[in-house]
Structure 1
Amino acid sequence: MTIDDEDISAFDADKMQADKKLVMREFAHKLKTNIGKIPFADEVTAAFYCAMDGSTPASVKAILFGALAYFIMPADVVPDFIVGLGFTDDASVIAAAIAAVRSHINDSHRDKAREFLNK
C-alpha cells in the first residue's frame, strides 16, 4: 500500500498535530541519547526530514508523525530500556510507515539525515 494523495480524512488531524508537537520537541534528544542502540537511525531520521518537508502531502505526514511519536514514547509494546529488544517494536512501526510512504522519502531527506547523524 502506498499513500499518494492529499486526502487525510482517514486521519485524525488533532492527533497528527499532537504527534507533530511531540516529535518536534523530543526527536533529536531521543535519537542522540540512543544513537548506538538504534540500527535504523538513518531511516528514522530521513522519515523525520520527510515529515518536516513542506512539500510532503498531509497524509504522508500523518503516517510519519504517528510512527515517529511511537518511536519517541518510552512506554510502548516493548519498553526501550530492554537491551537487545527495546527498539524492535519501534523498528517495526517505522518500517511499516516507511513502506507505506517510501516514494515520498527522497535523496534530500536522506542527505539531511546523514548530515545530522554525522554531527
Structure 2
Amino acid sequence: MSEKNREETLGLTLTALLKARSFSMRKLSSLTGIDTATISRIISGKQKAKLNHLETFAFHLGVPTAQLFQAAGFDITMPQAETHSDIYTSISSVQKILQSSNFIDHLFTAELVQKELIKYEQYALTEEGRQIIIDDFPSKVASVNGAGPFIDGLKQMYLQFCEDDNTSERRALLGSALLYFVMSADLIPDYVFPLGYLDDAIAVQLVLDRLNQSDN
C-alpha cells in the first residue's frame, strides 16, 4: 500500500468512526488532548499519524488499536476469531511489535506480570493495602475514562474485594490485580505503543484464571 493510500484509508476510517459516535474533531480533540488542527491534518492525509496518536484515537473511539494500525499501513495480523478485544492479543505478537519499536529492552512475558501479582497478594491482606484499594481504585478508573475491556473485570473484582465473606485466598488474588492497576507498577508504561494497559489486562486475566481454578 502506498503512503498516499495508507493516509486515505486512515482518514476514511477515522471519519467513519467519528460519524458513528457523533463526535466532531473538536470533541475528539478535547478527549485526547490532541490539537484539532492536528486531527484535521491526519484525517485529510496532510500529516502522518504518530503511533501515540493512533493509540490515543483507538482508546477514546473504543476500537481495537490494531484496527487503526492496519488502516495506517502497519503490518499487524488480527486474530481470525476474537473472544476478547485486542487488549488480549497474544503476548508473542505484542512482544514483536514492542521490540520492533525499540520500546523494551527485555522480553515481556506473562511470567513477569505474575511475579508482580504475587508480590501484591500479601499486601492486599494488610489494612494499608486494603485502604489503598478502597480509596484509590475509583479515581484511577476515572483517570482512564473507564475505557477498556479489562475495566469491567476490574470493577467486578473491586466489588467482590469489598464483600465481607471472602476467604483470605480470594481476597489476596482480587487485591493483587487491583493493586497492580492502582499502584502503576507497569511493566509497560501506559503511554507506550501499542497498548499501554496491556499488562494490566494480562494481570486481570491471570487472576481470573486463578479464581476460576480455585472455584472448580
Distance in 2 separating the partners of 1:43 and 1:103 = 17
Equivalent residue number for residue 75 of structure 1: 185
Distance in 1 separating the partners of 2:146 and 2:175 = 23
Of 34, 54, 78, the residue aligned with 2:164 is 54
In 1, are the aligned partners of 2:161 and 2:171 still within 8 Å (CA)?
yes
CA deviation after TM superposition for structure 1 residue 66, in Å: 1.2
Equivalent residue number for residue 29 of structure 1: 139
Amino acid in structure 2 at the alignment position of 1:53? E
Structure 1's 48 and 36: CA in aligned 2 closer, same or farther, altered over 3 A? closer
TM-score by length of 2: 0.39
Uncovered stretches (5+) of structure 2, i.e. residues with no partner: 1-120
CA deviation after TM superposition for structure 1 residue 102, in Å: 3.5
Residue deviations 1:46-77 (CA, integer Å, cap 9, x gap): 01111111111111001111111001122320
Of 84, 95, 104, the residue aligned with 2:205 is 95
CA RMSD of aligned residues (A): 2.4
In 2, are the aligned partners of 1:47 and 1:98 still within 8 Å (CA)?
no
Q: Does 1:16 pair with 2:122?
A: no
Uncovered stretches (5+) of structure 1, i.e. residues with no partner: 1-10, 106-119
Distance in 2 separating the partners of 1:50 and 1:103 = 17
Q: Could you tell which deviates more after superposition, 57-66 or 81-90?
A: 81-90
Amino acid in structure 2 at the alignment position of 1:38? G
Amino acid in structure 2 at the alignment position of 1:60? R
TM-score by length of 1: 0.67
Higher relative contact order (CA 8 A, sep 6+): 1
Distance in 2 separating the partners of 1:51 and 1:72 = 14
Percent of paired sites with the same residue: 23
Structure 1's 72 and 53: CA in aligned 2 closer, same or farther, altered over 3 A? same
Off by >4 Å, runs of 4+ in structure 1: none
Equivalent residue of 1:35, what SS?
coil
CA radius of gyration, larger in: 2
Equivalent residue number for residue 89 of structure 2: none
Amino acid in structure 2 at the alignment position of 1:79? P
Equivalent residue of 2:175, what SS?
helix
